[in-house]
């Protein structure tokens, strides 16, 4: 069972091959749906062998993990390049930007979420986002903007669970505005963990 995206590659050819396979999978998921797409389909679409496809993605369920990690990495880079220093503001920006990224490609996002659920599901999943949130929360606690008594692991999981739940509801109810839902619920969690002045 996949629990994390495949590890990063250093060989440029392997990087290109994995990207070609990922891009092929994304196109096919949108065109045919996650369930109807096979690893053989992905390999053929990318111009690679099945063996190569399985070397890069041992399980089709690894592909949604890469999707999440790529989005989160872009968001982290954007926040790092910004002038936002306040931990609650960085958390707001992190989730807002993630939800906008999900909404930017609605059908791909829906198929990736369906794939993630089929491959792994909430019961076995440990959010990849915890590694992104923990340092922001820890720094906020050190600076006094996150309350001293807050268990940072619990706070990170609560924030991650908010995103997961909102995205699942959005998959079921596509006419809703995801980033507004997430912004509202993240605000509730932040009120609970932010230090009062």
Give the residue among 188, 137, 186 at the shortest CA–CA distance from 163. Answer: 186
Could you tell me if 47 and 133 lie in one domain?
Answer: no
- With a threshold of 0.95, does the pTM exceed it? no
For residue 3, being part of any structural domain is answered with no
Q: What is the mean pLDDT of the chain?
A: 89
CATH number, position 132: 1.10.357.10
pLDDT in tens, 10-55: 788 989 999 999 999 999 999 999 999 999 999 999 999 999 999 9
Give the pLDDT band (50/70/90) at residue 73: very high
Could you tell me if 48 and 120 lie in one domain?
Answer: no
Residues 80-93: b if buried by 16+ CB within 10 A, e if exposed: eeeebeebbbbbbb
Could you tell me if 47 and 127 lie in one domain?
Answer: no
**How confident is the model at residue 1, as a pLDDT?**
44
Residues 14-24: b if buried by 16+ CB within 10 A, e if exposed: eeebbebbbeb
Q: Which domain holds residue 36?
A: 12-56
**How confident is the model at residue 195, as a pLDDT?**
86
CATH number, position 25: 1.10.10
Could you tell me if 90 and 139 lie in one domain?
Answer: yes
Domains in the chain, number: 2
Could you tell me if 188 and 121 lie in one domain?
Answer: yes
**How confident is the model at residue 30, as a pLDDT?**
97
Could you tell me if 44 and 78 lie in one domain?
Answer: no
For residue 7, being part of any structural domain is answered with no
Could you tell me if 79 and 176 lie in one domain?
Answer: yes
Q: Provide the 3-class DSSP secondary structure of residue 65.
A: helix
Could you tell me if 43 and 66 lie in one domain?
Answer: no
**How confident is the model at residue 117, as a pLDDT?**
82
For residue 29, being part of any structural domain is answered with yes
């Amino acid at each position: 069972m996949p629990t994390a995206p495949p590890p990063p590659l250093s060989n440029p050819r392997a990087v290109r091959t994995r990207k070609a396979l990922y891009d092929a999978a994304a196109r096919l998921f949108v065109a045919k749906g996650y369930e109807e797409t096979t690893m053989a389909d992905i390999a053929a679409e990318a111009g690679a062998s099945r063996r190569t496809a399985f070397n890069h993605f041992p399980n089709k369920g690894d592909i949604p993990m890469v999707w999440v990690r790529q989005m989160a990495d872009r968001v982290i880079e954007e926040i790092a390049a910004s002038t936002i220093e306040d931990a609650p503001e960085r958390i707001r920006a992190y989730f807002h930007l993630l939800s906008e990224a999900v909404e930017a490609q609605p059908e791909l996002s829906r198929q990736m979420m369906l794939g993630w659920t089929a491959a792994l599901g909430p019961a076995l999943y440990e959010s990849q986002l915890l590694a992104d949130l923990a340092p922001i929360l820890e720094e906020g606690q050190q600076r006094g903007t996150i309350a001293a008594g807050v268990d940072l692991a619990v706070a990170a999981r609560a924030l991650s669970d908010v995103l997961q739940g909102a995205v699942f509801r959005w998959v079921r109810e596509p006419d809703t505005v995801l980033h507004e839902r997430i912004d509202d619920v993240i605000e509730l969690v932040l009120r609970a963990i932010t230090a009062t002045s």
